[in-house]
Amino acid sequence: MKRLVLLLIFLGSGLWAPVSGARRPSVLLICIDDLRPELKCFGAEYVHSPNLDRLAATGRAFTRHYVQAPTCGASRYALLTGRYGPRDNGALFRHANNEEIRQSNLPAWFRKHGYTTVSIGKVSHHPGGRGGKDWNDGGKPEMPGAWSRHLCPAGPWQHPRGLMHGLANGEIRKNAGDMDVLQAFDGDDSSYPDGPTTDG
């Protein structure tokens, strides 16, 4: 069964501070789909991850998120909506125009309560669905109105769909069956998508 690790970090005046007149806490949500939680704070003693361990210790770490299908789309759908969805990657696209889901998803809740919501990377493909150089093609929105901003600089990968597979030096995944199971390129941070995403 698919397992998704979620760190929810509350910084500032405390989790349950009243919203009216009081300073609201800042919220940092780190989602990791399709990965095992290979961090010391999640039991991997051989991993040296002091900064993430410190974040997990001072925030709320959720370690039990299960979905019905081993796809990124199903896990992101369950995480962002709190619902079971279809078993494939199209769940958020197909339900983008369902008004109940549009109003009740996690980023929409935060926006409704005065927060600025920023998606960095592949939390969702909004605002432009899968098209456009930087997911800016408004023809196929995945979660309309959910995010205030979406940061996903494509760099040498040309478009976010190429970027999201994480291959080195702008390589774009073609047929997964023809690819190596593991890629390890010896280069600086800009060799992989994390570099441009961090700089963006």
Give me the torsion for CA of 12, 119, 92, 113, rounded to 10°: 40
Please give the pLDDT value at position 1: 37
Q: What amino acid positions are annotated as catalytic residues?
A: 72, 125
Please give the single-letter amino acid code of residue 95. Answer: H
* Whether 7 contacts 27, CB under 8 Å: no
The model's confidence at residue 188, banded by pLDDT at 50, 70 and 90, is confident
pLDDT at 81 over 80: yes
Q: Rounded to an integer, what distance in angstroms lies between the CA atom of residue 89 and that of residue 85?
A: 10
Please give the pLDDT value at position 53: 93
In percent, how much of the chain has pLDDT > 90? 8
The residue that leads in pLDDT, 44 or 137, is 44
Please give the pLDDT value at position 79: 83
The model's confidence at residue 100, banded by pLDDT at 50, 70 and 90, is confident
Please give the pLDDT value at position 13: 31
